[in-house]
Amino acid sequence: MSQVPVNVPPNNNHVSNNKGSEMEHLRNHSSGRLATESVRDGRVLVLYTGGTIGMIRNENGVLVPKSNAFVKKLRNYPHMHDKEYADERFGSMGPLVLPVTSTDSRRVVYNVLEYSPLCDSSNMTMDDWIRIANDIKQSYEHFDGFVVLHGTDTLSYTASALSFMLESLGKIVILTGSQVPIFDTRSDGLDNFLSSLVIAANYNIPEVCVYFGTNLMRGNRTSKVSASSFDAFHSPNCPSLAKANIKVEVDYRAIFRSCTLEKFYVHASLNRNVGLLRIFPSITTHLVKAFLQPPIEGVVLQSYGAGNVPTNREDIIKELSAATKRGIIIVNITQCTTGCVSDTYEPGKLLEDAGVISGFDMTPEAALTKLAYVLSKKEWDNETKRQMMQTNLRGELTAGRSPSLQDLDLVEAVARSLKLSSTAELQELGSILFPAMLNAAVLGRDVVKLEALKEYGADISQRNADGRTALHIACCEGYLKVVRCLLRMGANVHIKDRFDRTPLTDAIEYDHHEVIKVLMQCGAHLHGSAHVIGEKMCAAAAVGNVKRLESYHLANADLSQKDFSGRTPLHLAALHNKVQAVKFLLEHGAETGSVDKINQSPYNLAVTVDSVEAASLLLPSDASNPSDKVTQLIGANTEARLTNP
């Protein structure tokens, strides 16, 4: 069962050589005051890998990384940490907490894992990408979003690589950094970090993103374009996913959603035998031939303009053709910042005939990391790998013409009839119209209408006024076919409504077991306080609600989870002599020896209240003549109560 960490001591805010144990501590440490259910948090894990953003100037004014200083300094910045609130709720050794404003829907609580040693981005390797991916994997179920603080020089490479490695991603991962350290008087780091935290905690954008300036961009569409500007990153061939001005404005239509019925998975291997080859005037045959020799397995060819190479260089074409025949995958992309390659011109056709495949409008960073990812897939043959390089896997390319909406956009049609024209009015209309129609289609079990609404531009995970999505409604109603349809269209299983309920919460509380199984298959998991979940299971056990206990079991709950009194569901089932509940819990591994805060085991409680059947089931295995023993103990207990009323 997932238990959100609420307290991590400052000296454990870094990842050392003993990373595994510290990650475990980060996820499961839960000292400090217990939060009430009314407190709604957005939990974010920050992976501080290094980079300019956390550097400190030494006595000579030179920027240097300093271990174990970042979190300590953040605690002294009131705009980065609400010390009074954090100390009251979590204690002085707790996580960092952002101040809350009247417009915030959630309190942002964040933990920082500082890498040791801190890594300059120019020193980043594939091993570091794998390390970041695995750290996200280990804490995936315990946080709503992730922020990776990273140096800017290779940030786009890391973002692109993570977008492919994090398969069936259902939560947001934001990479950000700065041109000036966050602790300098005038810094872009403060806004970049704060905005990343707020977006990661509050918005349903299940992608690997880059945040810089005021723009949230798809990570595998970005490139660094300036060494000095605060607006250092651009997304040349893809619009921003969100803009953070006075309000955060998200373009939900632009979000790429996983449409497979699979749970989150990290593909933690990459093929390192890949490279970038840039065509330039008078490039030699020897250079091209040498570059294409073993162990190279994949090449990103950066050609001129729309994918052109010199037509009078048959020697180069010959070497490229020979390489593709040997099984080397060569992907052609443009050297230009914007635009894409095509076979419109003769040179592009020559490359196609030589076996070179189109990379369409991919950035160099995306093309290289995608090639490393695709080539590492041992289950794919060479032809499949070539096809996958030309397939839009994570929103990294636009193949052929750009996708367009139906000729008649539903919202625009209604807007015209109401004589609405401004962008703000259109957005407001869409936020009202689409959720209502999606929910109506769910209640009508109308799968065809759901698919039509998506074609008309509806975000399948769009929320209504209560923050509930179509998937919430379908899970409440138990419509398995509709649930599957929504998931195949990219509905997100992790969205919380205004009551902090996910679709899984609804499926559990209405005991729709088949729906729970499908949600778990797609990566859904329990969230929130472990003690609160324990209370709910104990309540079910107390009334003998075996069906509810089975719902929690299907959701991977710990059936021995304690409530606030230290009692487990087995305690409550024994106390109220709910025999079927006791049997179910025992069959599914509930701990019989667990004791509550007054040192009572489930067996002790059964004996205390004369629950003969429950006590018989819970009798310790070393007891002789079980039935007589139980009767004797219960009789003695009854006599004691009569003697001492």
Active site residues: 52
HSE, side-chain direction, 13 A CA sphere, residue 145:
27
**216: β partners:** 211, 242
Nearest to 26, CA basis, from 190, 146, 128: 146
CB atoms within 10 A of CB 140: 23
φ and ψ of 292, to 5 deg: -90, 5
What's the one-letter identity of residue 204?
A: N
Which whole-number Å values give the CA distances from 377 to 165, 373, 386, in the listed order?
A: 11, 7, 12
Q: Tokens for 303? A: 């050609």
Please provide the DSSP assignment of 234-280 as one string.
E-TTS--SEEESSSEEE-GGG-----SS---EE-------EEEEE--
Alpha-carbon span 207 to 48, nearest angstrom: 19
Alpha-carbon span 587 to 589, nearest angstrom: 6
CA dihedral 521, 524, 526, 528 (to 10 degrees): 170
Give the DSSP H/E element, type plus range, for residue 85. Answer: helix 83-90
Nearest to 167, CA basis, from 271, 255, 261, 263: 263
Q: Tokens for 248? A: 């955060």
φ and ψ of 110, to 5 deg: -135, 145
Q: Helix (H, G, I), strand (E, B), or coil: what is residue 67?
A: coil
**176: β partners:** 149
Q: Tokens for 171? A: 């939560």
DSSP letter assigned to residue 418: T
CB atoms within 10 A of CB 106: 18
| Cβ atoms of 297 and 501 closer than 8 Å | no
Q: Tokens 């949230």 — which residue?
A: 216
Q: Provide the residue count of the chain.
A: 645
Q: Helix (H, G, I), strand (E, B), or coil: what is residue 300?
A: strand
Please provide the DSSP assignment of 194-217 as one string.
HHHHHHHHH----SEEEEETTEEE
Q: Tokens 């790429």 — which residue?
A: 256
